[in-house]
Structure formats: structure tokens, C-alpha cells
Amino acid sequence: MPHDLRPLQSRETVLANARLVLETETVPGCLLVRDGRIAAIDTGTTVPRGAEDLDGDLLAPGLIELHTDNLERHLEPRPGVVWPQASAILAHDAELAGCGVTTVFDALRVGSLVDAGRVGYGKYARPIATAITAMAGDGLLRLRHGIHLRAEVCSETLEAELAEFHDGDGVGIVSVMDHTPGQRQFTDIARQRTYAVGRRGLTDDEFEAHVAAMRALSARVAPRHEAAIVAAARRLGATLASHDDTTEAHVAASATHGARVAEFPTTLAAARACRAVGIAVIAGAPNLLRGGSHSGNVAARTLADAGLLDILSSDYAPASLLAAAVALGREAGDLALGLRTVTAAPADAVGLADRGRLAPGLAADLVRIRLAGNLAIARGTWVGGRRVA
């Protein structure tokens, strides 16, 4: 799989005079990297001969991103402008490396609307996944890439698109997405109207026709498509995620399906229900930094205050991941706690036991962080002991 570990560097590197972000504390120390892995950790501020002096900056595990739509933005930088695949993937990869991310699951939609006129959209996931796998195999990418299939229940082509993916495609996450109008993220139809009219330029009549068509489509296909998504996750050995759970009934269904993570639950009640059944809660880093959801759903800060925020995701803004984790840690008076939401917690949620922490034997996937006022700046990123940004 594209996110499997491979030794990337044979020489030794010592990173010294750092504040090491361990799982439960931050301590001064240095770290020895050998053959792409962490070989040893020592405490203190001594800078051995030949070591790189980090000048007191934080040294944390590399950030792990489970859900990002950033690649789609590079593939279509403006509406109707399609960018070359390889160039888009390289730009996305470089941007995340510069933000301190070392493992990313690229979110690709499966399930299209081919007969929906102005609000239709075509399939694209299979060729993009193939390109990512090939570029990673050729050593062209800086990060460890996996695939996250965002499987859209309310669509026309879902089953055929899921059938195109097999073992070896690097699919690590499959999420159950349902954007049927009037539920989950867009329970408030007025908010969905604002979104659709602003983004698609629909008239009120066109929007009403779209809502009616999508509801009719969902009534025809939803149960069958949900079952197909769950089966695909099992077949691919991927972590199953729910998306936009709103009610306790949604969470109960997610638990029955075997979901391990819940992306962006929209209410406090849904997040509490997730905690009760052992489903990890992902909240949006932009939501946390902005102080609320752009869709009017529960604020990430509310989830954090209630002790219900397990993992942060940058969603549509890569730079938000590090900033939000540090902000969360500062507010709690515990930087290690904040950074856990973007390192150990996401690693645990998808079964990546080889990264997400600073410990001997684990991957030397690292980020150097300089704190300057309210800013958290990624000043260096290493993947498998190799400096990539």
C-alpha cells in the first residue's frame, strides 16, 4: 500500500536541542534517526558534534491527515478549469509537506450524478488513485499517501465505481457520505439553498427541482448503497468512517456497520453517542480556528470543551491542521494533548502502529515547529528520516 513504511535513508541524523513532544508531555531532548526510524531519544539540551541544532523548537511526530479535500482544489482550481493530474498531485503533496503533514489519506469521491444537469458531476476517483500509486512507487511524492474513498450514498454510479478498487490500491478509509437534501450537514434546507445558489448559480426553481430529484434518488438507492459501502470497506480492509452523523440513530447505524471514526458529527448529541460506543470523533480544524461551523453545525470548540474531540482534520484548509492542534494545546495548557489530535489519535484510529509518536523503532516522520506569538510555523518536515520540506 502507498502508506507502508520503506527505509528512505541509511545515514544517521541527530536532531538536538529540541522540545520533544511526547505522548503526554513535552521535554527538552535530542533524537537519533537511523535507517528511516527513530533509533534513540535522550533528554537535555546538549548538542552533540554533527547534530542539527533545533534551537529550542518543538519536535513532534509528523501530522497525520485522515480527511482532506485539498487535492480536489488542485485538480479543479477554478470551476470548469481541469488541471493536469500529475501537476495537481505534486502541488497538493508539496503543500501538505510544508504544513508538517507526513501521512495523508487523499479523499476522493466515488458515486457520481451523470444525469443531473447543472448540478451533475462525473467520476474521477479511479484514475487519480492510479496516478497517486504510480507516482508514489516512482519516488516522486514527499509524503506517505493512502486513499480515502468518500462514498456518496445519494448518487447514480456508486456500486460500479466501488467495484473498480481492489487490494493494492492503498485504500485505507471508506466513509459513508449522504448529502441527500434536508438531512445531516444540510438539515436546514435554507442553508443548503444558500450554498447551492452561491456555488452553482442555481435559480430558486432549479434548486427546488434538484432537491426533489435528489430525495427521489435517495429513496430508490440509499439502503442498497449503504450496504455496498460497508461491504467495500470490508473487502478492501479499510477503516469505515461515518460522516455528518446528526442523531443518535445515525450513530447507532454507524456502530452496527462497524465504523471506527465519525467525521464531523453535526450535533453534541451525536458526538456523545459516538463516545458511548467507542467511535472516535473527528472535528474540523477550520471550524476550531474560526470559532464555529460554516454550515451552522456544532462548533469544534464545543466538542473540545465537552471532552469529545479526538481527532482534527484540515478538511479544506491544510495550514489549519497544525494551527488548530497548537491552539487546542495552548488553551488546555498541554501542547502534547493538542498535538495528539493530529498524530497518535489519527494513527490509532486507522491502525497505523508504526507512526504518530516519538519512540524508538517507529518511523522517523517528524515536524519541527516554531512558536512565534500566536503562530505555529512548520520549519522542517521529515518522512522516513529524509527532509522533505
- H or E segment and range at residue 304: helix 300-305
Distance CA 165, CA 346 (A): 23
Neighbour count for residue 84 (Cβ, 10 Å): 9
Strand-pairing partners, residue 173, are 148, 239
Strands 52-53 and 37-43: unpaired
**Residue (of 9, 11, 318, 12) closest to 139 by Cα position:** 9
DSSP letter, residue 211: H
Per-residue cell: 30: 535530542
Does residue 260 register a pLDDT over 50? yes
Taking only the tens place, the pLDDT of each residue in 85-144 is: 999 999 999 999 999 999 999 999 999 877 655 555 679 999 999 999 999 999 999 999
Distance CA 126, CA 123 (A): 8
Amino acid residing at 208:
E
Does residue 212 register a pLDDT over 60? yes
Per-residue cell: 43: 533528554
Work out the average pLDDT over 239-253: 95
Does residue 327 register a pLDDT over 60? yes
Per-residue pLDDT band at 189 (split at 50, 70, 90): low
Distance CA 184, CA 22 (A): 37
Q: Spell out a b/e string for 131-143, using b for 16 or more CB atoms within 10 Å of the CB, else e.
A: ebbebbeeeebbb
Work out the average pLDDT over 301-309: 97
Residues 6+ apart with CB under 8 A from 138: none
Are 147 and 124 in contact, with CB atoms under 8 Å apart?
no
Per-residue pLDDT band at 5 (split at 50, 70, 90): very low
Give the per-residue pLDDT at 191.
61
Identify how many contiguous H helices and E strands the chain contains and give both numbers.
13, 16
Give the per-residue pLDDT at 382.
98
Neighbour count for residue 203 (Cβ, 10 Å): 10
Does residue 273 register a pLDDT over 60? yes
Give the per-residue pLDDT at 4.
46
Give the per-residue pLDDT at 8.
44
Distance CA 87, CA 108 (A): 17
Are 239 and 350 in contact, with CB atoms under 8 Å apart?
yes
Which residue has 442555481 as its cell numbers?
A: 202
Residues 6+ apart with CB under 8 A from 130: none
Work out the average pLDDT over 242-269: 96
Mean pLDDT of the chain: 91
Amino acid residing at 2:
P
Are 324 and 288 in contact, with CB atoms under 8 Å apart?
yes
The full DSSP string for 95-123 is HHHHTTEEEEEEEEEE--BSS-GGG-B--
Are 19 and 57 in contact, with CB atoms under 8 Å apart?
yes
- H or E segment and range at residue 262: strand 261-263
Which residue has 497548537 as its cell numbers?
A: 326
Q: pTM of the entire structure?
A: 0.91
3-state SS assignment for residue 69: coil
Give the per-residue pLDDT at 207.
72
* Low-confidence winner among 10-19, 26-35, 98-107, 298-307 (lowest mean pLDDT): 10-19
Q: Spell out a b/e string for 112-124, using b for 16 or more CB atoms within 10 Å of the CB, else e.
A: bbeebeebeeebb
Q: Identify the residue with better confidence: 214 or 181.
A: 214
